[in-house]
Amino acid sequence: MKKGLIAVVAIVVVLVGIGAILAGYYNSFITKSQGVDNQWAQVETQYQRRFDLIPNLVSATRGTMKQEREVFGAIAEARTRYSGAQTPGEQVEAANQMESALGRLLVVMENYPQLLSNNTVQQLIAQLEGTENRISVERRRYNDIVRDYNTSVKRVPGALFAGIFGFSEKPYFESQEGAEQTPKVDLENE
């Protein structure tokens, strides 16, 4: 009778130990997944800040730069795409489109010295530059957290448990192709 009781207790202890290990991995995946989602929300917050600043910058510059309709149109289109984005991937595409349009706007603005001397425009550009820096920092933090999460999901024995619990890799933030190049602006077509 004692041997049977010892065997049952041993089995229960082993099962509780396995359950504790599984619960530990599950909780770790949940915590890291929530961290990724939270950091993506921080990126979105900075994108929204950028999109909120842009109408002010456009309003301050539009009167002087009437012939630059293409740039203003691209900015408006990117803002609309971002507002209608359903997935993080669509948001990233719209944000990349906005970056490209803003880059062109800033290059074009260099050809209008009276704009650059306008105090309101200077303040808006400074705010926009600060926002771009914040976006860069938040993207880097997002990728760091995604790396940590993906490492835990891909390493053994975590990979075994991640598959059981339905956790999979999360995507990194990646810049659009050609983002490393300076935007080209054609001022010949005025």
Q: Which domains does the chain have, with CATH numbers?
A: 2-165 (1.20.1440.20)
pTM of the entire predicted model: 0.71
Helix axes of 69-84 and 88-109: crossing angle, nearest 10 degrees = 160
Alpha-carbon distance values, 160 to 12, 91, 141, 155 (Å): 23, 32, 27, 8
- On the question of pLDDT at 188 being above 50, the answer is no
Q: For 1-53, how does the pLDDT look when each residue is reduced to its tens digit (9 = 90+)? A: 688 889 999 999 999 999 999 999 999 999 999 999 999 999 989 888 888 88
pLDDT, the chain, mean: 83
Q: Tell me how far apart the alpha carbons of residues 107 and 105 are, in angstroms, rounded to a whole number.
A: 5
